[in-house]
């Protein structure tokens, strides 16, 4: 399955603390909503992956200096929330490339598939 998403917030900005309560940040909630609508417009009637999976992620030019590894967790969590994959712990391989000229700026192209399948 191949789809694009807006670039997510850094994993460092996914959650915030209010006293003793930890909650999703407004930035992360907004991104999840936007990503959900964008995904729904691209993919209809998909099956949830319930086996080990591999993910290829190609990131367009990003604003500023971003740690590439901080993009993995929000994308993995989104794929679980959107029922693309039953549980993000099933992701056993990541192949990630940044500053790809063929991907629009601040966009992430994702290809996820069950391992062992073409």
Give 74-116 pLDDT, tens digit per residue: 999 999 999 999 999 999 999 999 888 899 988 999 999 998 7
Instruction: Supply 110's token pair.
Output: 């994702």
Instruction: Supply 49's token pair.
Output: 């992956």
Lowest mean pLDDT among 41-45, 60-64, 92-96, 112-116: 60-64
Q: What is the pLDDT of residue 117?
A: 63
Q: Which residue has the higher pLDDT, 24 or 11?
A: 24
pTM of the model: 0.87
Query: What is the CB neighbour count within 10 angstroms for residue 5?
Result: 23
Longest Cα–Cα distance in the chain = 48
Structural domains present in the chain = 2-114 (3.30.1330.70)
**pLDDT > 60? residue 118:** no
Q: What is the pLDDT of residue 44?
A: 85
Contact in structure between 8 and 74 (CB atoms under 8 Å): yes
């Amino acid at each position: 399955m191949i789809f694009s998403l807006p670039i997510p917030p850094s994993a460092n900005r996914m959650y915030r603390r209010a006293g003793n309560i930890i909650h999703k940040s407004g930035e992360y909630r907004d991104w999840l909503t936007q990503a959900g609508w964008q995904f729904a417009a691209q993919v209809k009637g998909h099956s949830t992956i319930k086996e080990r999976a591999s993910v290829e992620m190609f990131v367009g030019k990003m604003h500023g200096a971003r740690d590439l590894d901080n993009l993995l967790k929000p994308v993995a969590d989104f794929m679980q929330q959107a029922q693309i994959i039953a549980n993000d712990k099933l992701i056993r391989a990541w192949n990630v490339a940044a500053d790809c000229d063929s991907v629009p700026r601040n966009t992430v192209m994702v290809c996820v598939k069950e391992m062992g399948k073409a």
